[in-house]
Amino acid sequence: MAEIKTVSVIGMGYIGLPTCAIFASRGLEVIGIDINEAVVAKVNRGEIHIIEPDLDGLIQKVVANGKLKAFSTPQPADAYIIAVPTPITPDRKPDVSYVLAAARSIAPVLKRDDLVVLESTSPVGTTRVMTALLAELRPDLKFPVAHGEEADVLVAYSPERVLPGKVLTELINNDRSIGGLSRKSSERTAALYSSFVAGDLFITQAESAELVKLTENAFRDVNIAFANELAAVCQDLSLNVWEVIDLANRHPRVNILQPSPGVGGHCIAIDPYFIIDAAPNNTRLISSARRINSERPLSVVRDIEALLDPTRNQTIACLGLSFKPNIDDMRESPAVEVVKLLSKIPNIKIVAAEPNARQLPHELEGSGIMFTDALSAIDQSDIVVLLVDHRQFNLIDPEALKDKKLVDTRGLWTWRKARKPDARIEGKKSEMERSQSLARTGEAA
Ligand code: SAJ
């Protein structure tokens, strides 16, 4: 089979665009496809529409040297990578319509020996469903679902698993699962990814690879829910949850995550529902974890309400709106949810600060919330609510917070900065052992 020289990436979003950049940087001819004309025009100017470290320089370079070209309609290629969103419907069912639309769009340009790889997080069985659609649209070609190793077009599932903020390094260094619908499909997919992946490639069946991706994010959701449940337990017992977790994590086989005002982003808060939908009678733990995490914003609002003085109007400073620290992404952000819930309480003024953004997100516009910088928000407030532990908030002078009532949902001021120096007696561990243990407790960061 001929070498893959041209790769088309369908969907130039948070995953597709960095994937385009990496393939192009390894010398492949890359065709980026997006239905959004503005994204296509931007990429063709060598610019990016998302924030991701080092991506701008790389895109600029590969567009300038002609290795990446963007289009709004599919073009012929040797391999197609589908990296489109897979959201959930309002009743929490997986919505694979973008995957199927992408398959419909490439069907007319497919030819013998082409490879199609689905990367989008998908419910188990989607790769097969997508392939059946391709087979229906192109009866002149043989696909692996019906023809196995005799197929003309090869198809595989290979999920991305990169962390926003570290996408370029994780794309290269993370191991990858590859679930081909035939052995040849897996081998050709592995050959394609080995053009840039330094991690190991593991071949499995498509359905296992689909479930692996969902499992990773459900695992994290369950573990965050454990930390959030502990936070509630500690509140009942008047104990400091940050200290309890920190000390428990010094056990060599315990690694509890951090409590928070909830789980945001477009992956961890969504993907567990794909498993719940597939096995509703056997996902009690995953469902409970989802419930615990999605109820967190409301419990933060209750904590704030408990501090309100009903006899006078008060101002609440909400610090941080993104879904996690040191990024600008406010989609599915629990911090935004907290502010939205607060805005329904009468007789309070809300002042919000988000150092990575210039304005409030759309969903908070017109709700009477003021947008300003952290110090001026603190200055005019009675209650300060820390919603995201951005590095800028770590630098705030404790003097500025002295007379304020605090709700520290990330333990930044009430634990990480406030730990008593005399509460630790250093042992005789080596430097290496010490730094390993600090990394486990999150202290090193
Ligand atoms: N969070 C906590 N406590 C913690 C860690 C995180 O409350 O101890 C919250 C964050 O504040 C945030 C949410 O969880 O609101 C998700 O943040 P994250 O950093 O855990 O993950 P994402 O959504 O940025 O990226 C995840 C990653 N998955 C895993 O770590 C298993 C990433 O590797 C995936 O590629 C990505 O989802 C994806 O695209 O699926």
* Model pLDDT, residue 55: 96
CB atoms under 10 Å from CB of 139, counted, come to: 7
* Model pLDDT, residue 348: 95
Res. 440: pLDDT tops 70: no
Res. 365: pLDDT tops 60: yes
- What confidence tens digit (pLDDT) does each residue in 120-134 have? 999 999 999 999 999
Q: Does the CB atom of residue 293 touch ligand 1 within 6 A?
A: no
Is 267 among the catalytic positions?
yes
* Model pLDDT, residue 421: 61
> Contact 400/375 with Cβ under 8 angstroms?
yes
Question: How many angstroms separate the alpha carbon of residue 343 from the centre of ligand 1?
Answer: 27
* Model pLDDT, residue 441: 64
Which of 60, 118, 109, 54 minimizes the C-alpha distance to 86?
A: 118
* Model pLDDT, residue 164: 87
* Model pLDDT, residue 417: 66
pTM, rounded to two decimals: 0.93
- What confidence tens digit (pLDDT) does each residue in 406-427 have? 999 999 988 776 666 667 788 8
Which contacts qualify for 196-199: CB closer than 8 Å, 24 or more apart? 196/22, 196/23, 196/25, 196/26, 196/171, 196/172, 197/171, 197/172, 198/172, 198/173, 199/172, 199/173, 199/174, 199/175
CA 269 vs CA 57, 255, 320, 366: distances in Å: 31, 21, 19, 27
> Contact 272/289 with Cβ under 8 angstroms?
yes
* Mean pLDDT for the stretch of residues 21-31: 97
Sign of CA dihedral 154, 146, 73, 331: negative
Residue having the nearest C-alpha atom to atom 22 of ligand 1: 163
Cα diameter, the chain: 78
Alpha helices in 117-262 (DSSP H): 126-137, 144-147, 167-173, 183-193, 206-236, 241-248
- What confidence tens digit (pLDDT) does each residue in 29-56 have? 999 999 999 999 999 999 999 888 899 9
Q: State the DSSP string of 369-424.
A: -EE--HHHHHHT-SEEEE-S--HHHHTS-HHHHTTSEEEETTSIIIIITT--GGG-
CA-to-CA distance for 114 and 1, rounded, in angstroms? Answer: 10
Residue having the nearest C-alpha atom to atom 4 of ligand 1: 258
CA-to-CA distance for 143 and 131, rounded, in angstroms? Answer: 7
Res. 367: pLDDT tops 90: no
CA-to-CA distance for 78 and 63, rounded, in angstroms? Answer: 20
Q: Does the CB atom of residue 332 touch ligand 1 within 6 A?
A: no
- What confidence tens digit (pLDDT) does each residue in 261-314 have? 999 998 999 999 999 999 999 999 999 999 999 999 999 999 999 999 989 999
Res. 108: pLDDT tops 90: yes
CA-to-CA distance for 48 and 57, rounded, in angstroms? Answer: 9
Catalytic residue among 184, 267, 318, 340: 267
CA-to-CA distance for 15 and 19, rounded, in angstroms? Answer: 6
* Model pLDDT, residue 418: 66
- What confidence tens digit (pLDDT) does each residue in 322-336 have? 999 988 889 899 999
CA-to-CA distance for 343 and 370, rounded, in angstroms? Answer: 11
Q: At what angle do helices 334-342 and 296-307 cross, to 10 degrees?
A: 40
* Model pLDDT, residue 50: 85
* Model pLDDT, residue 420: 65
